[in-house]
Amino acid sequence: MVSGTTELIETGLRAWAGGDLDALEAVLDPKVSLRWFEAGKWDCTGREQVMELLRQRQSHGLGPHSMRIDRLDASTFVVSPASHGNRNQSKAFSAATRITVTDGSVSEMQQYRSRADAMRKPLRGRSFRQAVLESVALDGGR
C-alpha cells in the first residue's frame, strides 16, 4: 500500500516532469540539497537555491519532457528520461535524479549520468527487478 506521503511526493515529482515547479517546491524540505554528478556550479543547498537553479534550467529550454519515476522504496525514487532519446541531447536532459525523502519531504536530489547509475545504490533488500516492477512510467507506458 502506498502512503499518503508517498503519493504526495510522486505527485510533486510528476508535476516537475511536466514543468510545474511550484508543485515540486511544495514537497521540498527547506534544507534540500541538489548535487550534480560532477561537483560544480549546479550543486546547491536549500529550497530557494534549488528552485532558482531549476527555474533557470527551465528558462533555458530544459522544460517538460517525458519522464519516468521509479519508486525504489518508501523514501527513494529515481526520476529519469522515459526514453534514451537522441545522443545529442544535453547532459542535463539525459541525467537521472535519485530522490531521497526524509520526514515526508524531499531532502536530497542526487543527479547521475544515467538511470542505471542512479538505480545501482543498495535497494534496501530488494532486487533491481522488484524495484523496476514498481516503477511508474509517466509517458503512459510508451
Model pLDDT for residues 17-60, shown as the tens digit of each residue: 888 999 999 999 999 999 988 888 889 999 999 999 989 888 88
Predicted structure pTM score: 0.76
Model pLDDT for residues 65-112, shown as the tens digit of each residue: 688 899 998 899 999 988 755 444 444 457 899 999 999 999 999 999
For 32, 82, 117, 123, 133, the CA distances from 105, given in Å and listed in that order, are: 9, 24, 23, 20, 24
Of residues 139 and 26, more confidence is placed in 26
